[in-house]
Structure 1
Amino acid sequence: MVGNHVINLDSKSLRLHSPRDAGGIDRIVKKQKGSNWSKSEEKTWIATLFIGTTILFSSRVAMPVCAPAMAKEFGWNKEHLGTVMGCFFWGYAMTQIFGGYMADRIGGDRMLCIAALTWGTVTFITPYIAYLYDDHTVTLLLLGLFRVILGLFQGMHYPSMTSLVSRNVCEKDRSFAMGVTSTGSNFGSLLCGGIGSVILESHGWPGVFYFVGLCAFGWVIHSWQLSKTQQGRKVTRQNSVEAKEDVPWRLIFSKSQLWCAICAHFCMNASYFILLMWLPTYFHERFPDQKAWVFNVVPWLMSLPTSIFGGWLSKNIIEVKFSVTFARKFIQTIAMFGCGLFAMLLPFCENYISALIVAGLAVSCQTFHNSGILVNPQDIAPTYSGSVFGIMNTAGAIPGFLGVYMAGFILNASGNWKTVFTSVFVTNVIGLSIFLYGGTGEKII
């Protein structure tokens, strides 16, 4: 207090305010202390984000689930399938940084709704696009183009969700929140694999895309209303306004710890996308007499509890006073080594039941990634978590088109599943070693 004025210190200037403005300081402090969601708001948002991620992955998996039927109808080989499915990731890689940057500035909730409205529309109209022309080559090109567009807008989902959670959930609870919401990825694969397979058999492959598209529209309406009416919406807006300072890109890219996380995320995604895109075809070829809804459901059903357990385990490791760095590396070891090991064993399974179990274990292990490196941007750069996650997931999208296409090329040339799944193990070991050596769970930006 100086005379009748209060001195307000900030990083840019010394400003004098009258005593009646002093209450503003208290309001700022209270806002900072109460910036996280309340428990009820957190539960509501986690459930909403879980459902949104579920529908997102149902949309993404619709093509692999329908691939055998579409290949038969349009005369595609495995290389064609790999091209169409891989086109998604060209778009997916292009909007990660943009999506995270915009989410940090205008709010992850708003970006999630904008993106979902668009990718939901693309999903819904996919059958119309497929039947526009009789020339199957033109159909292949058009579907590839729309898969790129689908990827463009789905690429904004995870960076926006990361930004939203980082700004509204306390540090020790973030891994659990991300573990639960990211479980939607496997639940979406399960949902589309199960219900989608039933729709596929009864109404043909177009019905799968119609169903998922309508679900996306419903989620957009719900999440937009939630975003407008809940107090968490206001908190997110206020935090977003505070974060409108320039992102220190040069500083971010100079951090070796981030590059270690990027390398590991790249390797983990290479494994995940191969499993996601090619498991339906693997089971269809190896066990042609088995029901598609079973092998499209069981591996992903097995993975649901492990994703939630991974978040719970990470949270409890931190609560018993282990470092965040230890927690992230321990969880990531389970994810990458376990997934790689079981994927490598999969082609050696001679009977259907053992193949289902091993595939389920491979998918289950990779869900620990949701509570490991996937949370890491919130650890190392909480203020810029959306932008940092966008950088990391841009690199993580590359094996989507490269790995999925190469797997299709190998299979079309040799039909050798052992080569494809052994590469999953080798890739994971390399990525894990890099993260264990140089990764961190501490704030560096």
Structure 2
Amino acid sequence: MPNQLTDLNLLYPEHLATVIARSDRALLRGGFDHLVMPAGTAHYQFLDDRDYPFCVNPHFKHWLPVTRAPGSWLVHTPGRRPRLIYLQPHDYWHVVPEVPAGYWVDHFEITIIRDAREALAHLPNDSARCAIIGEPGAALGDFVPNNPQAVIDLLHYQRAFKTPYELAMMRVASRIGARGHRAAEEAFRNGASEFAIHGAYLAATQLTENELPYGNIIALNEHGAVLHYTDLGRVPPVHPHSFLIDAGGSFHGYASDITRTWAWDRDGEFQDLIDAVEQAQLGFCAQVRAGQSYPDLHLHAHHVLAGVLRDHGFLRMSPESAVESGVSSVFFPHGLGHSIGLQVHDVAGFAADDAGTTIPKPPGHPYLRLTRRLEPGMVTTIEPGLYFVDMLLAELRTRPEARDVDWDRVDAFRRYGGIRIEDDVVCTGGQPENLTRDAFAAIAV
């Protein structure tokens, strides 16, 4: 874990200089004088006086590790020190954001305000000369987010290339997530319910539900066939068979995204299938290298997983036939992965360049979230899976290819739900860096 008094002091100035340089280019392209970023505001729930959980503007937290200061603003003018307008309200109903402190504060001109409307006095004089990036609800006076596309396209495209500072943040987020996964597995082995496993995860990570990078997927038995299962059953199954957990960690605004699948019977046939998927997944991780087309890697994963299905007796057709006919997508119905960083599903996954040109998804693969060619500095998830989804299997039964499926074997595996193995992997100039595997190794020491 980075030492905030040493490592971050050294890494942050370079990161900020990179963000400033990108922002200067974006402003020049868009024809603006200032980049203005509201942190965002709290929103009341409909017909109530309770706030929805606050989620900071990703553009705001790209500049500095402040994630809990609604009503604050950040202003960048080329050639000047960036300004943070920091809302620290007089408030005895809620916890007031702490005074800014830490490795980053000396790089900003910081103005403390007590009322959100006071920010207007510190924003640029002419809002028309500003690229204002944020959600519509963050508007203040004439400062209404305009989110100019030329500016957004450049900033989003460049965000795929992580700075050493950002990678340091993501390594910590990975260790936090790995600790949670270890606690969750132990709870599963002890026969806990989904709800109790979720509680064990939160306790191990020391994160609240609102601080997680996304809602935890804690799926026992057949629930593993629901790709985004979040119901959290309160009663454990009478006969536990399997456990799929997709859960991450957060650190200074950066995310990790980790999935593991566990068999109750460590020596059974479902464990054998898990082992086969994991072996395949490690092979895909090894191909996160500069120049690799991500769509090509996704299609390669389909061929490998179709071979796993054939080798384990589910299919009688060749991997090539399974992919060409779409049968592989019945068992592997989502994309191989996505970009990750400030957001779990990070932006510009389809960008061909920084001018807004996009790269289409391969035909027949609508759920792939990343079509770019990998380059050093990019971080992507690698998350192949095999599932036994009733709806998709019912559709397959009506097709000619159904004759090449061993339905008795498929039916026997429905109780397990599915398998997904996911790591966060950095593309470098050489060997990829697997943030997730390194994190598990580090916490085992």
| TM, length-normalised to structure 2 | 0.30
Query: Higher strand proportion, which one?
Result: 2
| TM, length-normalised to structure 1 | 0.30
Query: Higher helix proportion, which one?
Result: 1
